[in-house]
Structure 1
Amino acid sequence: MILVISYPGEEHTDDVVGRLQRAGRDVVRIDLADFPAASGLSCSWDVGAPERYLIQTPGGTVDLAGARAAWWRRVRAHTLDPLMSDPDAMAFAMSETNEAVSGMLDALSCPWMNPREADSAAHHKPLQWAVARQVGLQLPRTLVTSRPDDARAFIAEIGVGKVVFKAFIAMLEAWRETRLVEESDLAHLDSVRLAPVIFQEYVPGVDLRIIHVGERFYTAELDAQDTSYPVDMRMVIGEAKVRPVELPARLEAQLLALQRRLGLVYGAIDMRRTPDGDYLFLEVNPAGQWMFVEERTGLPISQAVADQLCAMADRGVREPVGV
């Protein structure tokens, strides 16, 4: 059995699950938002019997102890019974549900893509940047700060119009594009005291979306330099020139070292290649999207993800993290 944890309608998950099922694999897909309101669980440790991790699915009861591989894709928060209204009771129920579900998943002996703890830690950009430098990758000059004076000094040293600011996480509820710092922004720098902000030197060049799956890399060049918004290719992906490219072997080795130190089996890596041929690391998204790359380049990424899950299931043992 291959366990897939993601929510309904997530198109990347839908595509890969379809490939797995067509290949004859037994796939169980669960949405964490179903617990505890719409789905039950029962974990047991009886004398002389193996442990059991039973969950309720639309197709019946499934024992997750039989999982041979698991895919932690994109998840939603738990959902409580709508009849609950007392805040203290709701907080308690949410905490207890998280402890039970998380503990159950962590107890599974199968390998994960990605291991949940590693996936969570690797979402933190300061950690990414520290590890990236340790493996020899170059970064643009970067400042994370909630101190207005530090922000002013950083911008003054590099220059207005040569620094971008951006968010740590692309939240659907408060999505923000990457923007250049302009003169009009200087009057608002005191607001960084309200929450830390990423400031980064803006380096012209072409973007690279690098999809890492297992031991392989699938790379697309996204040239947004002549588009209406070259600062953030996500805003103009339809205008950008997109083509598959190969990375230098040394760079691939550094990126593989990065992913292994972060404990990731999968990651969507963003880099910038300068006109001089330098490669600058920007970030890695442990649950980043790839279908827009696959559609524009023909790179077989969805099949690679499915094949990786099958290979992990065939081995069926948890692999050490960070080696």
Structure 2
Amino acid sequence: MILAVSSEEDAHLQAVRRYLERTGVTMTVVDLAEFPQQAQVTLNFGGHHGCYESILSDYQRDLNLGDCLVVWWRQPRPFLLHPELTDQHYRSFAYIECQATIAGLWLALDAFWVNHPMRSEEAQRKPYQLKIAQQVGFSIPATLITNNPNRARAFVEQYGAEHTVYRAFSTTAHTWREARLLSSQPMTLLDNVCYAPVIFQEYIPAHNDLYVVVVGNDLFAAVAPALCGDKIDTVGDLEPYPLTPAFADQVRALVKRLGLVYGVVHMRIAQGGQPIFIEMDPEGAWLRIEEQTGLPITQALARLLASQVQHRRIVNSPVLTLGTKQCHMLMSGE
């Protein structure tokens, strides 16, 4: 069984499921936003027999997670607590307990992950990304992460407001914050850095933005013209881009060091032709890249998931767990 952790409304999930269904492979979707209001989890450990059972239930089905061979950690949504819990302290406690239970469930699950949630969470940490990118040989922009307004001002004075980009560590549906040039904002806003750390980076003048979608060992690369304007993350029209073998090896090394199977790497092709690492998104979108370039990314991801189901069925086959004598008897027909 393939388990996808996302929502039914996710267009990327729908695209992969359609491909899998055409090949006779089914995928079950688990939406964490249904937990704990509409879904219940039960973990049962048999103390004397070493048995372990994990059941995820809703009002229509019981899902035995022991049957799950492959998990696609696509785009999980946050838990939705019961509305009758109104006290903020109780709500915080309940949410933490839900997190602890589900995180432990994932760790106890014997499955192939794309990607494991712990690796995905680690890989999203910008300081960690930048360090690993440097270690595998990529150049990165000069970067300052701080909540010290004086250090922020010194960085801006060094590179100039018109050549400084600021980014948030995270975004949500309610607090979407794109990367922007600092020159579009009053300098007095640097005082607000004291409330929470901000990422400041040297702006890289570029001809193109490069996106590399990594699916297992397969790489799908596309470039778009680097657009002018305050919003650095705006993407123009995309077209396929050939990667040199050496560059492809660097990308694979980055993904491997981060412990990932899937991810979208964003780089800028500087005016001198040098690729500069910007970020890696372990849950990044690919449909727009596929639609504009024709690169078969959905097919590659669906095939990866399906192939791992088949691989784990073979690995878990009782034949492979037989002793030497039993294997000899099996092969000799005794």
Query: What is the TM-score when the length of structure 1 is the normalising length?
Result: 0.90
Alignment of 1:289 onto 2:291: no
User: In terms of mean alpha carbon deviation, does 58-67 or 289-298 score higher?
Assistant: 58-67
Q: Distance in 1 between matches of 2:196 and 2:160?
A: 23
Alignment match of 2:237 (pick from 218, 241, 255): 241
Letter in 1 for 2:92: A
Q: By how many angstroms is 1:230 displaced?
A: 7.1
Give the corresponding residue for 2:173: 172
Q: By how many angstroms is 1:21 displaced?
A: 2.3
| Residues 1-323 of structure 1 mapped to structure 2, 5 A cutoff | 1-46=1-46, 47-48=48-49, 50-57=51-58, 60-182=61-183, 185-205=186-206, 206-225=208-227, 229=229, 231-234=231-234, 237=235, 240-316=236-312
3-state SS of 2:161 partner:
coil
Q: Distance in 1 between matches of 2:184 and 2:104?
A: 50
Letter in 2 for 1:251: F
* Unpaired segments ≥5 residues, structure 1: none
Identity of aligned residues (%): 34
User: In terms of mean alpha carbon deviation, does 61-70 or 95-104 score higher?
Assistant: 95-104
3-state SS of 2:238 partner:
strand
- Preserved contact between residue 237 and residue 292 of structure 2 (Cα < 8 Å): no
Q: Deviations over 1:98-133 (max 9, x none)?
A: 222221222111110101111111111010001111
> Which structure's CA Rg is the greater one?
2
Q: Distance in 1 between matches of 2:300 and 2:307?
A: 10
Letter in 2 for 1:250: A
Letter in 1 for 2:223: E
Q: Distance in 2 between matches of 1:314 and 1:7?
A: 25
Q: Distance in 1 between matches of 2:35 and 2:53?
A: 18
- Preserved contact between residue 224 and residue 233 of structure 1 (Cα < 8 Å): no
User: In terms of mean alpha carbon deviation, does 168-177 or 67-76 score higher?
Assistant: 168-177
Q: By how many angstroms is 1:8 displaced?
A: 2.4
Q: By how many angstroms is 1:183 displaced?
A: 7.8
Q: Distance in 1 between matches of 2:94 and 2:29?
A: 23
* Unpaired segments ≥5 residues, structure 2: 316-334
3-state SS of 1:128 partner:
helix
Letter in 2 for 1:204: P
Classify 1:58/1:8 alpha carbon distance in 2 versus 1 (closer, same or farther; 3 Å).
farther
Classify 1:164/1:95 alpha carbon distance in 2 versus 1 (closer, same or farther; 3 Å).
closer
- Preserved contact between residue 224 and residue 241 of structure 1 (Cα < 8 Å): no
Q: Distance in 1 between matches of 2:42 and 2:268?
A: 48
3-state SS of 2:57 partner:
strand
Q: Distance in 2 between matches of 1:153 and 1:65?
A: 55
User: In terms of mean alpha carbon deviation, does 278-287 or 31-40 score higher?
Assistant: 31-40
3-state SS of 2:37 partner:
coil
Q: Distance in 2 between matches of 1:309 and 1:183?
A: 44
**With CA pairs under 8 Å and 6+ residues apart, which has the higher RCO, 1 or 2?**
1
User: In terms of mean alpha carbon deviation, does 76-85 or 147-156 score higher?
Assistant: 76-85
- Preserved contact between residue 222 and residue 233 of structure 1 (Cα < 8 Å): no
Query: What is the TM-score when the length of structure 2 is the normalising length?
Result: 0.88
Q: Deviations over 1:66-110 (max 9, x none)?
A: 111101111112222223334443333323322222212221111
Q: Deviations over 1:117-167 (max 9, x none)?
A: 111111110100011111111001111111111111112112231111122
- Preserved contact between residue 16 and residue 303 of structure 1 (Cα < 8 Å): yes
Classify 1:292/1:91 alpha carbon distance in 2 versus 1 (closer, same or farther; 3 Å).
same
Letter in 2 for 1:209: Y
Q: Deviations over 1:30-78 (max 9, x none)?
A: 0111111101222222344742211124652121101111011111122
- Preserved contact between residue 273 and residue 280 of structure 1 (Cα < 8 Å): yes
Deviation above 6 Å: which 4+ runs of structure 1? none
Q: By how many angstroms is 1:243 displaced?
A: 0.7
3-state SS of 2:253 partner:
helix
- Preserved contact between residue 134 and residue 140 of structure 2 (Cα < 8 Å): yes
Q: Distance in 1 between matches of 2:279 and 2:132?
A: 11
Letter in 2 for 1:302: T
User: In terms of mean alpha carbon deviation, does 55-64 or 36-45 score higher?
Assistant: 55-64
